[in-house]
Every structure is written in structure tokens, then in C-alpha cells.
Chains A and B, each alone.
Chain A
Amino acid sequence: MALDKPYKDVPGTTVFDADQSRRGYWLNQFCTSLMKAENRERFKANERTYLDEWPMTEDQKQAVMDRDLNRCIELGGNIYFLARVGATDGKSFQQMAGSMTGMTEEAYREMMVKGGRSIEGNRYTGEKEQV
């Protein structure tokens, strides 16, 4: 019998479960390598060359080069690992999180100052369309 995964219908959310972790193993291990300053330098000097040292899929490499964090997460990335790429770029966690919402950095920051994204309409996939 299959595992129960009740979190599949939470909108705009990818839970980093065993399937995602398996899919993203090398993507996340690449991210971990950026905790070392010399690796950050080598990555910045030539991203493609550095990425080619890792057995990642082409889609994963492209998503990293595009800094498309939503795509990285879809391909098995986890935000705490992906944060190493953001740190290499000098980005804060707020800039990284905001970049996944389709909002500008200013609009996202403003939303947070005003109390954050409301839970209303954000509990179930498709909920907003039904309202």
C-alpha cells in the first residue's frame, strides 16, 4: 500500500520528502559544496565548468544558472541547501523567498511588514478559484 501524502494539495508548496530528496541528491550536495570559500570562488569564476563536475541533470544545472529557485525545488532542491547559492550571490533569505512568489523584492518585503501572506485561500490547491 502506498504511503499517505496528504501534503500534495497544499498550494504553492513542495514538501521535501524522500522522493524529492532522492531526486535532488546531487543538486543539494553541489549546494553544500558552496559552504567552502574556495568552491564559491571556483563556481563564480565559471558556473558551467563547476556544475559539470557534479552528476546533476542538465535541467538542474540550467535551473541553477537561471537562479530559478522554484524550478530547483521542483527538481529536488531544498531551500536550506539552495540558500548556499543565494549566499554565494550575496542574497538574503528574504530575497530568495521573495523571488519564488512572482512579487518584486519591494512588494514582498512590504507584504511581510504588513503581517505576511494570509492563510485564507491558501490552505488547499484550487481553493482560490472556488471562492
Chain B
Amino acid sequence: MARISASVYSSHIPAIGVAIDQNKTQEPYWAPLFQGFEASREWLKDNPPDVVFLVYNDHATAFSLDIIPTFAIGTAPRFEVADEGWGPRPVPDVVGHPEFASHIAQAVIEDEFDLTIVNHMDVDHGLTVPLSLMCGKVDAWPFQIIPFAVNVVQYPAPLGRRCYRLGQAIRRAVESFDEPLNVQIWGTGGMSHQLQGPRAGLINREFDNAFLDRLIADPEDLAQMPHIDYIREAGSEGIELVMWLIARGAMGDGAGGPAPRVVHRFYHVPASNTALGHLILEEKG
């Protein structure tokens, strides 16, 4: 059967993609941030997944205001890299896993999470920036990817506890797939940031680090945090952090197993307007 071996968490700031694409990663502004991912890239090479289930949000790219799905799973064989207005990023297209993605969709919907199924969508920086951070510059992404888009653009995003429970359901769905796939689940977005209005530029280190502590040690309790706390404390765009709870819910301790092992933890301010957080959790045994 397929199994989840690890979860990876990372912000997905678009300026990071620009820095990678324009070879600026060694510049003084960016070097400390990229150094925080060197151990992660080594870890990924040593622990290569077959499939990454990648939780991210679309930024008014594939979904305009015409259709706003709360949870959307990509079941296509291939996803093209979107032109977000600056031209598409020069990174490889994303190769999906239609059979596995469709299996997860069916299982999760039967588990009472009513996903939207998407057979055609372009993917934006929310998905490609974490891939670049973890894989570097490559000709092809070294695994198949199931894009999983969460609405955090139009309020309300799904509640934290809903996201956590969805993660638990995704784990059950993965484990009911017959092929012996090694699966990682990634949660992206955040951490504290606000991109609009006179309060733009807000950063809250205390909130972010407490979030990381609780995500590791007590995610079920963290999942109870109401939306207003994210908005007030971590900025209007900080609410992206609910997506991390989907990945966290898919770890073994959410199904009665042992707590995961912290492989790597990193926090850096600033990346453009945003606080970057990064975490890798590995299943024990």
C-alpha cells in the first residue's frame, strides 16, 4: 500500500522564485534564506518520494472570481506553469498522478470531504516556489505531484480544524491505495504577512514561532485557533497557515501513531513582505 513518510512545510513567497530564476540566491539579501534550505535539499535527495501531495493556494491565477473552490484536487496528467503577469516562471511543468489523485478524491469524498475535482489548471508560484526551494534548478521535478488548492483568497478560508481533519482523511485515502508509493505531503504558504492596506508589512515573530512549536507538539489544539487570530496576529494573508494543518493532519500521530521526528526547522525575516517558515517532519519507524 501507499504510505506517507514525511511532511514538509514552507512559505511560497513569489520573490523567492524570482531570486532563483535570476540567479540571485548568493546575494546578501537572499543568501541566509537559501542557506536555510541546504539541509532540506540534502534530506530530500536521501529521502526521495514517489509522489508529493502538495497543498497550496491559487492566487487568482487558475481560479478567478468565476469559480472559488474551497478544496480542489488536481487529477490531470500534467499541469502547466502559469503566466501570473510577469511571464511564466522558467521551471518544468508539473507531472501529476491521475490514477492516485482520482483514488484519493473518491476516498476523501466518501469520507465526507467534498472536494472539487480539477482536470485542467495552470499552477502558480504557490506550488512552484516550494518545489524550487526543495529541489533547486532542475530540468524535471524528480517526483510526481498532486496539486491540492485551498481557497484562502476570499474569506472565509476553511477552518483550521476542518483542514486538520481533512489531512487525517487524506492519510486514510493514501493508505487505501494498493501500489507501494512513498508519499510526502507538503503544506505551504504563510507565515505572518499582510500585503494590503496601511498595515502592510506586518510581521509577528512571536506568533510564527509559537505556531511552529504548536504545529510540532500539539497540532490538534492549534487547529482550534479561530480565523480572527490569524488575521489579527499574523496579517490578512497569514491565514494561509491553515494549509499547514492539512499536511500536519496527515501524519501518523493524527491516526494514533507516534509523534513525528523534527528533521529541520528554519525561520527567516524578511523575504520581500513576508516571514518565511520551514519545517520537515518525518514519520518514526
Contact = CB atoms under 8 A, between A and B. Distances in A.
Contacts of B23: none
B200 A100 contact: yes
Contact of B195 (A88, A93, A124): A93
B194 interface: yes
Contact of B154 (A12, A14, A16): A16
A112 B268 CA distance: 12
B195 A117 contact: no
Place the interface of chain A in its size category. Answer: 35 or more
Contacts of A14: 196-197, 236
B199 A84 contact: no
A102 B270 contact: no
B65 interface: yes
B159 interface: no
Interface string A73-106: 1000011110110111000111011101110000
A69 interface: yes
A86 to B, nearest CB: 8
Given A10-B231, A13-B231, A117 B203 contact: yes
A89 B198 CA distance: 21
Contacts of A79: 195-196, 237
Given A11-B198, A12-B197, A80-B59, A29 B156 contact: no
A17 B156 contact: yes
Interface string B40-55: 0000000000000000
Contacts, number: 158
A60 to B, nearest CB: 14
Contact of A13 (B206, B236, B270): B236
Given A13-B231, A69-B196, A100-B197, A80 B153 contact: yes
Contacts of B116: none
A112 B270 contact: yes
A49 interface: no
Nearest to A22: B65
A80 to B, nearest CB: 4
Contacts of A44: none
Contact of A115 (B60, B154, B203, B236): B203
A73 B196 contact: yes
Contacts of A78: 60, 153-154
Interface string B195-223: 11111111111110000000000000000
B60 A116 contact: no
Q: Which 10 A-B pairs have the closest CB atoms?
A: A116-B203, A87-B85, A12-B199, A12-B198, A80-B60, A97-B200, A17-B155, A117-B201, A112-B270, A79-B196
Interface of B: 14-15, 18, 29, 59-61, 64-66, 82-86, 153-156, 192, 194-207, 227-228, 231-233, 235-237, 269-270, 272-273, 275
27 contacts: A10-B199, A12-B198, A12-B200, A14-B196, A16-B153, A16-B154, A18-B154, A28-B64, A29-B65, A29-B66, A35-B61, A35-B82, A79-B237, A80-B60, A81-B60, A83-B84, A84-B84, A92-B15, A92-B272, A94-B273, A97-B194, A102-B198, A108-B200, A112-B201, A117-B199, A119-B203, A123-B232
